[in-house]
Amino acid sequence: MPNGGARQGPEIWIRGPVSPPEGNVRDSRSARYPQEGYGPGHVHGTHRHFSWVATHGGAGTSTLAAVYGGRDCGRDWPGPDDPQSVLLVARTHAAGLDAVLRTLEVFRLGEAPVGLDLDSVVLVADAPGRLPRPLAQRVARIESAVDVHRVPWVAAWRVGDLGGEPPRETRTLIRLTEYSCTCM
């Protein structure tokens, strides 16, 4: 669970995406990870800003922030100058999934700092291959409460090579962290 003092918040929270902020922004990441169907110079949209919050040590927030953009908050809650839209991050091992469930409970009970919006959970594979059944059942429990994005095992990330394209399986996460686009 993230560090920091818990403040009183709403007693319930709604599943689904947070509306993007108003305005048009374009940065160099759009050239690196273009949206399907949008060519250079044809992108108008609002850049969505996120804070990556780890639910346990070693979750992968630094890697995800480097690859997808956003603010790496580590295990701390976002500060007042950080984006208030939160992406909770965990590994897919038993301790990581249990940590996500505990942190979701913090949001459900309104104990997360006031003003934070839980956008979704990002589960980072802790090993290559399929999840064992008990872990897959925990993931299904998480998916019943909040939107979940899965990031597969990426061997290059293990050795610090973050320069390639993000995994194809993370297209929805790329869209979430990039732009809300419209064609010209």
Convert the pLDDT of each residue in 129-163 to its tens digit: 999 999 999 999 999 999 999 999 999 999 999 99
- Judged against a pLDDT cut of 60, whether residue 117 lies above it is answered with yes
Residue percentage of the chain with pLDDT more than 70 = 71
Average pLDDT in the chain:
79
Q: Model's pTM, two decimal places?
A: 0.73
Please compute the mean of the pLDDT values over residues 25-48 and round it to a whole number: 37
Task: Give me the pLDDT at residue 84, please.
Answer: 95
Instruction: Return the axis-axis angle of helices 133-143 and 94-108, rounded to nearest 10°.
Output: 20
Give the model confidence (pLDDT) of 58-108 as tens digits.
999 999 999 999 999 999 999 999 999 999 999 999 999 999 999 999 999
In the chain the domains, ranked by start, together with CATH numbers, are 50-182 (3.40.50)
Please compute the mean of the pLDDT values over residues 16-42 and round it to a whole number: 36
Task: Give me the pLDDT at residue 2, please.
Answer: 56
- Confidence bin at 19 (pLDDT 50/70/90): very low
Write out the DSSP string of the chain: --BS------S----SPPPPPSS----THHHHSPPTT--TT--EEEE---EEEESSTTS-HHHHHHHH-SEE-TTBPP-TTS-SEEEEEEESSHHHHHHHHHHHHHHHTT-SPTT-EEEEEEEEPSSSSPPPHHHHHHHHHHHTTS-EEEE---HHHHTT---SPPPGGGHHHHHHHSEEEE--
- Who wins on pLDDT, 129 or 31? 129
